[in-house]
Amino acid sequence: MKIFFLFFFTLALFSDVICKGDLTRQKPITKIVNFNSIDGSSHMYEPNILEFETGVLYKLILENKSKYKHYFTSYSFSRSIFTRKVQVNFKNQKIAEVKGDIKEIEIFPGQSLEWWFVPVKTGVFNDLFCNIKDKKTNLTHSEMGMTGTIKIY
């Protein structure tokens, strides 16, 4: 009897390791990044260090509360994930889902969206940036502080 129990327990353990099914249909873990600007003199991602785990579905809410448009761009990150969808909402209603590979996202003042993805490759990426140019200083938002690091374990 004990041997049978051990056999089925081991089988159950390994079947979970071998076949986890559709990884994009898990319950997502929600993370939020705010795009912030202080008087137009500095711009930032809050938080500016993001951590994810491979094989887990995330719903990353990108929220631009500032008066400026901003990009969320990290080519290393976009190459290391599988995007299920980018979802655009308006007044708590879904208005669009974009599917396929995403390289960068631009979000306009006061708007937000959800990026649903599963990280598939580990790494530490220091190339999160916003390439919008500030008209007064002629510097990019990245040069004014809008950079970040994404870690995938």
Interface contacts to Cu ion, rule CB under 5 A: 43, 70, 130, 132, 141, 146
CB of 101 to Cu ion, least distance (A): 22
Phi-psi region of 47 (alpha: psi -120 to 50; beta: other; left: phi over 0): beta
| Beta pairing, strands 49-52 & 147-152 | parallel
Q: Which is nearer to Cu ion, 28 or 40 (CB)?
A: 40
CB of 54 to Cu ion, least distance (A): 28
CB of 102 to Cu ion, least distance (A): 17
Strand order across the 147-152 sheet: 49-52, 147-152, 123-129, 70-73, 104-107
Q: Which is nearer to Cu ion, 24 or 48 (CB)?
A: 48
CB of 28 to Cu ion, least distance (A): 26
Burial of 30 (C-beta count, 10 Å sphere; 0-12/13-18/19+) = exposed
Reduced to 3 states (helix: H, G, I; strand: E, B; else coil), residue 54 is coil
Q: Which is nearer to Cu ion, 43 or 84 (CB)?
A: 43
Q: Which is nearer to Cu ion, 107 or 118 (CB)?
A: 107
